[in-house]
Structure 1
């Protein structure tokens, strides 16, 4: 519609928000009918006398509201808000919230655009206000364990549990059986370390465990240290609970000791969160010397360490974990989500003995308590040997899928490993990670850009995206998604403006 220009409502608030409201009003009144093409951002910016960035942010807002759909190479089109929207248009991925107001799953980690991050509270919720993907979207934004036939074993174990323990299933779980701790001890053990059975706390997955640790070791207002690339949902959860994330610079080996020492001396964080054996999103492994340096600094500054080994369970090595180097201050966290099955929500913490009961209590208060059925199922998976069998098969499946990655994306710069369920791809010039993510979403392939892994505002730019490839059910679906990404990289027509 070359003759249409929106009216920018008067009032307070950011210009791009008022402009978005004006466009939304024209869509609601029919001045912009369903199917109408909005002017190119540069043209509209010239006509209105504003910057292209203002137009881009306004278009992003109305896209988030589900009012328009951006198509790479074609433009931005009105979807409308009622039954006039065609089925084809309505199934495209939009950056909006579910109509019932509920949050999508934690794995759907497509972050807001910067225009939506208006307040610290908004930033804390950035990982939960996710777009609703089209049903046919290929989910490369998740790294849950691939499907390799777990359901048959789980079905048999659930039948046994429901037959043998009907009362326990029907009631609340008020105690921890010894075999639950034994399973956790087995699952968390490494060649160079075995946790004491008395240190084990069963949990509802790793994220609930980590939030319980933060709650038990800090108070509102305390600082929690994170690497400048990390699993940012923990940082957002910490901020939501009143803790303050603080950033430590890192290199390919992990947190820089000199910067950690500086942060400890100046800001006095109480806890350090690290993923040493398989870092997310880079997939790197921290060397033994760096671990020893970090442990020394932690002792000097009375710093707790949360050692997230959820991905580490996929990697075989004999490097001594933090829990062995500094057992008096390390919480070693593991789960079944990446290496067995995500839906069971089985996890364990090996805690310093002085804090095991506190972690159990904090976890119960935050989550309402663990489920007998799921905890007993997780235990039987481990004690029966099924979990270890699944772990080996999943490692084999990941290696096979890595061959597909090399076939389609091997010519591009990336950090990857045969045992990692994701790769850290550097997008070539002139792509930005955000525009590449948007272009992929337009083609129904969901990936994570680098901002998803930043625990706070940062001027550091990596020009990288994380591509997970274990969530799709089949290798053929992985192949299809990788082919789409390869075509986008080779074409490059959407790299300048993902909405045009």
Structure 2
């Protein structure tokens, strides 16, 4: 007992006094946690004392400490492990700016604890699976159960699909790499949107493909421009994101999709439809894979709508496609998805947990879009359920200058250059809304960025995040 008390006292080395005049006591506790992490007194993985012990030390009631721990979890400072206690989050070790508006990830939905979902799901999987087999090599397109789960997940978009048209892959990037390897030889042209997903651009460059941007308007790529580019370059492959396009948030209207499909059929163009967001959007027209199933490879990842750590995506192959050739290209890129994560994804889909998580992400994304609309300049382009917004810059700003000013101020955003497939990039930035765990901090970051955008580009001393008083 004495040793346990000594250990508990040792774990309180970071704790200071509470000041009755310094505001809510629970926020003072959170501030002490933040300071201890910043100064290295607490490190990722350190276990915190029990809440009751802290309440005794601070001479406050237990609910005050419970509220402080809840706020600390919202800020990403601590993680709670059921039955083991609370620990300093490993997220504190991640590199990058203090407030990251550059990484497009789904925000953690309110009211759903991902850790608890994972614990229950994995326990249920292990209760009915052979752990040795689960951790072995798994070749091919995924088990029948996993491919059937993919078909069920995509049914709201594509209707009933036979599982043999679906391949389970370790993330959309892997699927895209394999597709470019299968469908184009080095040096061949690939038609793309003028601004496109950077991962697709990297994959095309790695394959030494000649990127040909297809002129676009506010509704997306122009059918006549697609026709002209295909004829001039002899291109037979077109990769695009028709719904909540990254980075512009444009969703192609139904008529535009039909017109593009008509050109693709006339020119015998194969389509790669990178579609992470249709289920998140909820209001998108039918995917290209539903309009032209005979020539469309449809890539749908769970990373952008549930959580990146699942590393699971579904590739829907065209009707009559040679699955053997695609699987050979896939094996050359990555042998298999992580079996445990794929099994968890399929399990969540079967029991409805994936749908609940998707709806939670949609609700949280909607709240964050409202924040962005209230705070950012009115030229912002977004969507009620998108994970990012596109912000054209006023004439007095050049994008690289703004990016540098934002970096100095502690903000990370992405300039249009990262998305350009050819030609001059516009003076605009993409602002991601999901990486900052709590809305209050997101509002702080958006407010600071909005101030920079509206301010004078000649100013040389931007306000910094968490800058001490002088």
Indicate the TM-score class for this superposition, using the shorter chain for normalisation: 0.7 to 0.9
The whole-number CA distance in structure 2 between the counterparts of 1:477 and 1:497 is 22
Check conservation: 1:220, 1:242, Cα contact below 8 A: yes
Paired position in structure 2 for 1:468: 432
Aligned alpha-carbon RMSD (Å): 2.2
The whole-number CA distance in structure 2 between the counterparts of 1:228 and 1:250 is 7
Question: Secondary structure of the equivalent of 1:277?
Answer: coil
1:198 equivalent among 136, 151, 164: 164
Check conservation: 1:134, 1:444, Cα contact below 8 A: no
1:443 equivalent among 404, 409, 421: 409
Query: Closer, same or farther in 2 for the Cα pair 1:299/1:160, shift >3 Å?
Result: same
Check conservation: 2:106, 2:305, Cα contact below 8 A: yes
1:142 equivalent among 80, 96, 103: 103
Paired position in structure 2 for 1:71: none
Check conservation: 1:201, 1:359, Cα contact below 8 A: no
Alignment of 1:46-57 (within 5 A): none
1:168 and 2:129 are equivalent in the alignment: no
The whole-number CA distance in structure 2 between the counterparts of 1:483 and 1:247 is 34
Paired position in structure 1 for 2:450: 486
Structure 1 residue 497: Cα displacement: 11
2:378 equivalent among 398, 405, 412: 412
Structure 1 segments of 4 or more deviating over 6 A?
495-498
Moved more, 220-229 or 390-399: 220-229
Paired position in structure 1 for 2:250: 284
Deviations 1:8-65 (A, max 9, x none): xxxxxxxxxxxxxxxxxxxxxxxxxxxxxxxxxxxxxxxxxxxxxxxxxxxxxxxxxx
TM-score (norm 1): 0.69
Q: Which runs of 5+ in 2 are unaligned?
A: 1-37, 40-92, 463-470
Paired position in structure 2 for 1:207: 173
1:262 and 2:223 are equivalent in the alignment: no
Question: Secondary structure of the equivalent of 1:333?
Answer: strand
Paired position in structure 2 for 1:387: 354
Paired position in structure 2 for 1:374: 341
Query: Closer, same or farther in 2 for the Cα pair 1:417/1:318, shift >3 Å?
Result: closer
The whole-number CA distance in structure 2 between the counterparts of 1:191 and 1:248 is 26
Q: Which runs of 5+ in 1 are unaligned?
A: 1-86, 89-131
Deviations 1:118-149 (A, max 9, x none): xxxxxxxxxxxxxx985552111111111232
The whole-number CA distance in structure 2 between the counterparts of 1:496 and 1:311 is 39
Question: Secondary structure of the equivalent of 2:322?
Answer: helix
Structure 1 residue 162: Cα displacement: 4.0
Question: Secondary structure of the equivalent of 1:272?
Answer: strand
Structure 1 residue 428: Cα displacement: 1.6
Structure 1 residue 367: Cα displacement: 1.1
The whole-number CA distance in structure 2 between the counterparts of 1:476 and 1:174 is 45
Structure 1 residue 453: Cα displacement: 1.0
TM-score (norm 2): 0.74
The whole-number CA distance in structure 1 between the counterparts of 2:457 and 2:181 is 47
The whole-number CA distance in structure 2 between the counterparts of 1:136 and 1:283 is 24
Moved more, 132-141 or 326-335: 132-141
The whole-number CA distance in structure 2 between the counterparts of 1:341 and 1:308 is 17
